[in-house]
Structure 1
Amino acid sequence: MRKITKGQPPSSFSNWVNQKPTDKNENEWFAELYNQKRWDLVGDLSHHNAQEQFYLCAYCCVQITGDYTDTVNEHVEARKINPSRSLDHTNIVASCKTKNQCDSAHKAQALPLTPLTDECETELKFKISGRVEGLTDRAKQAIQVLNLGDDERNNRALIEKRKQLSHNLMYTHGINPQQALEDDELLKSVIDDLLTPKDGNLDAFAPVVANILRNWIS
């Protein structure tokens, strides 16, 4: 995960929220966006959130476009847990649509560690192997809820993809993933570069590689 700082919602969405009738609750009205096929508003929201996240999935950090083909509007606090936040933009992020992972795995489960908190970058530890480890109980629970790949038995596909793309990203920055670099200043420079958006985008798994490199700093 990478910490997401929520800004203002797209004006089309906020105007619709402010002008909607009061004959339904927020949860029902969110469902109405889809029942009434308001793809303009749904699309505005997902594209806006994807842009806000530098086009990375809020949970696994794979690249997304904001388009319906690979992106879904995901409620961090599930609608069934807190229906009153169904239209709260600060509770909605852009997630990938990977089966049995991220939004698909989250469903109505409680999520104790979220990308809306600073701790999401420190309580998860990513490894060269592609696996992720939870350093706290809530981090371990979040990994299980979102199926983020702590073990190949749970999500081999994500672990392999994360390993391959992370290694490629390291090589691109002149780092051999098999040899921990001991030059702290160089590591910090690479981390800064990894986390600096280019044309509004971050590379897939850039926050993962930054996490790995932070653990190399003495």
Structure 2
Amino acid sequence: MRKIIKGNEPTPLTVWKRANPSGRYQQLTNSERQAIREACTHEQHYLCAYCCQTISGTTADTMNEHVEARDKAANKSLDFNNIVASCTTPYQCDDAHGSQPLPLTPLMDECETELQFMLSGRVNGLTERAKNTIDVLNLGDHERNNKRLVEKRKYLAHSLLLENGVDPEAGLEDDDLLNMLINDLSLPKDDRLEPYAPVVVNVLRQWIAA
């Protein structure tokens, strides 16, 4: 995950809420829903809030995801600060979340430190709430749980390192170069981050700390 800094809600949502002060998310038209989807996707630099794969911001692959589920927090169904953009991959992220409590979210700073990604493609939870979140979202702590995500994450993380001149097997011991690479991977290009860039940044920070 990558910490999401929420911006202002999109204007179409603001206008609709003023006209419908007692409204709920399920009453929105496709127009307002798409405005939310695009705003969330843009502020996330076109990465899924949970797994960090690329999303387009269209209904083809992007879902408006309520961090606190609508049936558990109806009063937050139109709270833009409770909505993120998720991929629509079956059995993970939004689809896996459902109405379950999410103890660690991409709205928290700790989402970048309590999840430990590995070049094997797996992810470990360093706290109980991180482990619980991995389970709830099916983020791939082991191949038996989400083999497709683990293998995809491994392949793209390795590819991203190789593109930047780093051998994933050999690693890199120069902290200055590692910090330069972290800064480069953390900087959006044309408002977009590379798929799984936050995963690679997480790994590189572990190399520095080792």
- The TM-score normalised by the length of structure 2 is 0.98
Q: For residue 21 of structure 1, report the CA deviation from its aligned partner.
A: 4.9
Where in structure 2 are there 5+ consecutive unaligned residues?
none
Q: What is the letter of the counterpart of residue 188 of structure 2?
A: P
Give RMSD over aligned pairs. 0.8
Q: Which moved more, 1:39-48 or 1:105-114?
A: 39-48
Are 1:43 and 2:43 matched, yes or no?
A: no
Give the C-alpha shift of residue 83 in structure 1: 1.1
Match among 27, 34, 37 for residue 32 of structure 1: 27
Aligned-partner Cα distance in 2 for 1:215–1:186: 14
Q: Kindly provide the amino acid, as one letter, of the partner of residue 138 in structure 1.
A: R
Give the whole-Å Cα distance in 2 for the aligned partners of 1:21 and 1:166. Answer: 45
Report the 3-state secondary structure (helix = DSSP H, G, I; strand = E; otherwise coil) of the residue aligned with 2:207. Answer: coil
In the TM superposition, residue 180 of structure 1 has moved relative to its aligned partner by 2.0
Q: 1:82/1:181 Cα in 2 relative to 1: closer, same or farther (>3 Å)?
A: same
Q: Deviations over 1:72-107 (max 9, x none)?
A: 000001112211101000000000000000000000
Aligned length, in residue pairs: 209
Which position in structure 2 is the counterpart of 1:165?
Answer: 156
Which one is further off, 10-19 or 95-104? 10-19
- Scaled by the length of structure 1, what TM-score is found? 0.94
**1:122-141 alpha-carbon deviations (Å, 9 max, x no partner):** 00000010000000000000
What are the superposed Cα offsets for residues 162-182 of structure 1, whole Å, 9 maximum, x if unpaired? Answer: 000010000011101111211
Cross-structure match for 2:9? 9
Counterpart Cα distance in 1 of 2:63 and 2:18: 22
Q: Determine helix, strand or coil for the equivalent of 2:86.
A: strand
Matches of 1:189 and 1:21, distance apart in 2:
48
Ranges of 4+ aligned residues in structure 1 off by more than 4 Å: none
Q: Which residue of 2 aligns with 1:53?
A: 44
How many percent identity over aligned positions? 54
List per-residue Cα deviations over 1:150-171 (Å, max 9, x = no partner): 0111000000000000100000
Could you tell me which residue of structure 2 aligns to residue 109 of structure 1?
Answer: 100
Distance (whole Å) between structure 2 residues aligned to residue 61 and residue 108 of structure 1: 21
